[in-house]
Amino acid sequence: MNHIKCTGLILVAALLNSCSADGSKDAFTAADVLPTPEQVAYQQMEMVGFIHFTMNTFTDKEWGYGDEDPALFDPAELDAEQWVLAAKAGGLKELILTAKHHDGFCLWPSAYTEHSVKNSPYKNGDGDIVREFTDACRKHGLKAGLYLSPWDRNHADYGQPEYTTYYRNQLRELLTRYGEINEIWFDGANGGSGWYGGADEERRIDRATYYDWDSTFALVKQLQPGVQIFSDAGPDLRWIGNEHGFAGETCWSTISTDQLVIGASDQGYLNTGDPEGDRWITGQCDVSIRPGWFYHASEDGRVKTPGELMDIYYKSVGRNGVLLMNLPPDRRGLIHETDATHLAALYGMVRQVFASDLAAGAEVKTERKHVVGRSYRPGNITDADPETFWAAPANAEVKLVVALDEPRTFDHIVLQEPIRFGQRISAFRLEVPMEKGLWKEIARGTTIGYKRILQVDPVTTGEVRLVIENALYPPAISALGLYHSGENH
């Protein structure tokens, strides 16, 4: 059950239409499918990060076979605080570490296997990189997340029921020893050739049944009630369907899970979500700052440029997704200088473009009467308070005119819906006035969700009109912002 904060009281969503800041009876109702407060908080982070680091870093591979000698793992200068500080300087609010990748090597001294840091030269076998990582995240105010690969090419029992017990034992270690874990990441890649304790063969599993995901998720939530679970199929966060970091132009946070199988879902469906979906599963857009997920010296010259990273930002955060950017530490155990510099430059660009909202405080008029009650007035979309919003009285086309105090030049428009009441809008356009009462379209889109960023050719105008053409419910908007990047497109 979702709860909503309302004038200091906690009310259930279904009672929403009796709740407004000035006590009046309003007709605004929440959608049928709503995010949890944890999902809303997660989306508000906007940018989070991945740390892909393991044996592969030392063998120059992307997928280890599972027969690698722990003696190879020796990151002599490893400094988890350096990872966290690089992420923080790049605007990332959470980091997720590959505690175990497909090759089965564990970055913590698991009691259930010998294939771990405890048999490596790292700190003479006394190291625990999950501990160093979670401590560093906490010290510098980032949330910590963990990736535990379901596929394990080292383990002799992979493919048998015994392995799923091993997997859950490892989850229990990770979710009870290291304090609060904000996210757990379940990869869809699964089954194939591997070492498997020396069997050195091909093994396939039934993706739909082998892990009994429902029981695994229940265990995870029992051990960490606030955790966000990522997989192709959620339940909290879903894969966006590609590894470029691109959400769909149309991107619903709603989706139906009966069509989703972890590791075998329709990638197009994951990319756009489904307006008729019966679950809220936020889209997470994973991408690596380099061509590979793990560090390879040969890719030092191929780190994505700040401009490329900005394009990814527009196509993830700007399309109702959360950006998950991978930073792979090198053999020293440090994030490479180029990666850190480019990520910091991205964050600098984001802050520069969105530094000053030219629509802040602007008067807003609608041609239709807004919902009775000050809580939903049109001016709420320019009041710089993301909690307040405007809501339409009915589900029909509606036009909102933002009147600037003087003509302004902008090239970015940001729209936001109050997603705690659901995702509603399915078609909109933006216009500026021409002569004789005519309006010219400058941008158009389908979904908005938590945030939609539109880049337009620079335009100078005293008025901007948002036309909401279609919505699933009476539409609502929490923010409309106008920004000028200072660049000539």
Residues engaged in binding ligand FUL (CB under 6 A) = 62, 187-189, 286, 293
Q: For the CA atoms of 55, 57, 62, 65, what is the dihedral angle to 10 degrees?
A: -20
Shortest Å distance, C-beta 213 to ligand FUL: 16
Asked if residues 73 and 115 have their Cβ atoms less than 8 Å apart, the reply is no
Query: What contacts 102, CB < 8 A, 6 or more positions away?
Result: 63, 64, 66, 149, 151, 152, 153, 187, 189
Region of 332 (left: φ > 0; alpha: ψ -120 to 50; beta: rest) is alpha
* Nearest CB to ligand FUL, comparing residues 202 and 405: 202
* Nearest CB to ligand FUL, comparing residues 290 and 424: 290
Shortest Å distance, C-beta 151 to ligand FUL: 8
Residues 18, 22, 28, 30, CA torsion sign: negative
What does the buried/exposed string (b/e) look like for 130-157 if buried means 16 or more CB atoms within 10 Å of the residue's CB?
bbbbbbbbeeeebbbbbbbbbbbbbbbe
Distance, in Å, from the CA atom of 395 to the CA atom of 392, rounded to the nearest integer, reads 7
Task: Give strand pairing partners of 231.
Answer: 238
Shortest Å distance, C-beta 403 to ligand FUL: 46
For 6-57, the three-class secondary structure string (H helix, E strand, C coil) is ECCEEEEHHHHHHCCCCCCCCCCCCCCCCCCHHHHHHHHHCEEEEECCCCHH
Distance, in Å, from the CA atom of 2 to the CA atom of 35, rounded to the nearest integer, reads 8
Q: What is the largest distance, in Å, between two alpha-carbon atoms of the chain?
A: 80
Shortest Å distance, C-beta 339 to ligand FUL: 16
* Nearest CB to ligand FUL, comparing residues 188 and 306: 188
Shortest Å distance, C-beta 187 to ligand FUL: 5
* Nearest CB to ligand FUL, comparing residues 187 and 357: 187
* Nearest CB to ligand FUL, comparing residues 62 and 397: 62
Shortest Å distance, C-beta 243 to ligand FUL: 6
Distance, in Å, from the CA atom of 404 to the CA atom of 364, rounded to the nearest integer, reads 9
Shortest Å distance, C-beta 62 to ligand FUL: 6
Peptide bond just before 235 cis, omega within 30 deg: yes
Shortest Å distance, C-beta 24 to ligand FUL: 49
Residues 441, 442, 447, 450, CA torsion sign: negative
* Nearest CB to ligand FUL, comparing residues 242 and 455: 242
What is the residue type of 353? V
* Nearest CB to ligand FUL, comparing residues 68 and 286: 286
What secondary structure letter does DSSP report for 363?
E
* Nearest CB to ligand FUL, comparing residues 37 and 292: 292
Shortest Å distance, C-beta 42 to ligand FUL: 18
* Nearest CB to ligand FUL, comparing residues 326 and 388: 326
Rounded to 10°, the helix 80-89/337-353 angle is 30
Distance, in Å, from the CA atom of 339 to the CA atom of 361, rounded to the nearest integer, reads 38
* Nearest CB to ligand FUL, comparing residues 64 and 235: 64
* Nearest CB to ligand FUL, comparing residues 303 and 413: 303
Per the document, the length of the chain is 489
Shortest Å distance, C-beta 155 to ligand FUL: 17
- The residue with its CB nearest to ligand FUL is 189
Shortest Å distance, C-beta 6 to ligand FUL: 39
